[in-house]
A and B are shown apart, each in its own frame.
Chain A
């Protein structure tokens, strides 16, 4: 049993660990993309201009209503088509290029993360005490100073639990990229199953690895929350 997961040519340990590394890379690469999109969506929906508000609302509503796998296919196939069109337009003789599944995964998962994060961040901005912003203005802070020194640290504290949940969801959603042929944990497991004919064993191991990542994330997030909330008096 254990020799199935041996490291090296004999077992599948190294292949599965490689897949795990791709999964982790994908999740870590998606996080900044999703956070930037989330902040943009939150600013848009809190904007004074109605077209921006409509845009923010439309983006978060549509993205949250679509299955993640559909978003992934739209990005993968759609961006592939656009890329091909652009290449053909640039250089008609060029042969078709393939859109990288990794990039498609980052964009699609980032779009989904951004939509949910937009809502979380909007809620966090709205729960800030307005008096503090006014106080900042009263002592002559500039807008960016108020944002950096007063709003951001507290938005972080309010948004952390929600963003933590989103991180865990995104970590699980990375499994979808195996469908568009990226060699992540799920796909390497599938390859191993194809050879060894032991589907239950291998998928169980994949599940346990995802589970371990999620539990680890939860532990780290609980610590980050405790750190973000240091100095906050607890209501009795």
Chain B
């Protein structure tokens, strides 16, 4: 079979896989985006004693392979089957999609929290003081001053994190979720035609490219008042490389 025949015959499967990959990535990123602002506030403002469990969680999530986290949830839940059944949670953990989603959401929460914390810390103290001075309450200050600016600072890094999550979602194929990678392996095991991998690579690159464009558009919308111009570097302000 030539590469064209492969794609004409198997495109419905790949499309199916593409939808699954997008679903998994965006649901995971979305759940993490709901949880991470609160955690980032804790990381930025609370005392180190209250932060300890959060730091442990973030360090664990960043220091272990996602594959291991996925196995810990998907296979590991089997060890507690009787308890989970009693609580009615077993139907959730039995489904590989749910486990993959949970693993990705937990993982992405850790990364997004750290990124947002960086954004919150990057908001100039004077802005917060100004907001307080004109009588904004703490919550109002957060909502109108701190978070809008923090998100603007964190936006590119958040985009990178979502791309990393999209790439990591290919791991779900290992626990039999039929995303792009899962479909590709399925087709390969049937046809032994290598070109299916190249088609999968093209799909992943297209998703990434489209996402990058959309994210960039959203960034321009987020900061309409900031003109996109390259800032001249002077000797007084050396470029700072952010540590990933």
* Nearest chain B residue, comparing its CB with the CB of A61: B205
Counting chain B CB atoms within 10 Å of each CB, the highest count among A67, A162, A201 belongs to A67
Answer whether residue B137 sits at the interface, using C-beta atoms and an 8 A cutoff.
Answer: no
| Interface footprint category on B | 35 or more
Answer whether residue A33 sits at the interface, using C-beta atoms and an 8 A cutoff.
Answer: no
* Nearest chain A residue, comparing its CB with the CB of B188: A77
Answer whether residue A123 sits at the interface, using C-beta atoms and an 8 A cutoff.
Answer: yes
Expressed in whole angstroms, the Cα–Cα distance for A62 and B202 within the complex equals 9
With A66-B167, A67-B170 as contacts: A200 and B181 at CB distance below 8 Å: no
A215 touches B173 (CB 8 A): no
Please count how many residues in chain A sit with their CB below 8 Å of the partner chain's CB atoms.
44
- Measured between C-beta atoms, what is the minimum distance from B81 to chain A in Å? 10
Answer whether residue B213 sits at the interface, using C-beta atoms and an 8 A cutoff.
Answer: no
With A77-B197, A193-B75 as contacts: A70 and B65 at CB distance below 8 Å: no
Where chain B touches its partner, the secondary structure class is helix
B79 touches A214 (CB 8 A): no
B185 touches A73 (CB 8 A): yes
B201 touches A74 (CB 8 A): yes
With A62-B205, A67-B168, A204-B72 as contacts: A198 and B59 at CB distance below 8 Å: no
Expressed in whole angstroms, the Cα–Cα distance for A174 and B67 within the complex equals 10
- Measured between C-beta atoms, what is the minimum distance from A69 to chain B in Å? 5
In the complex, given contacts A70-B201, A127-B239, A211-B63, what are 8 additional A-B residue pairs having Cβ atoms less than 8 angstroms apart?
A65-B208, A67-B167, A69-B173, A69-B181, A73-B181, A178-B67, A199-B76, A206-B71
Write 13 A-B pairs (CB below 8 A) sorted by A numbering: A65-B204, A67-B171, A68-B170, A74-B197, A173-B65, A176-B67, A179-B174, A198-B79, A199-B78, A200-B77, A204-B72, A204-B76, A207-B68
Residues of B within 8 A of A (CB): 59-60, 62-69, 71-72, 75-80, 163, 166-171, 173-174, 181, 184-185, 188, 194, 197-198, 200-201, 204-205, 208-209, 238-239, 241, 243-244
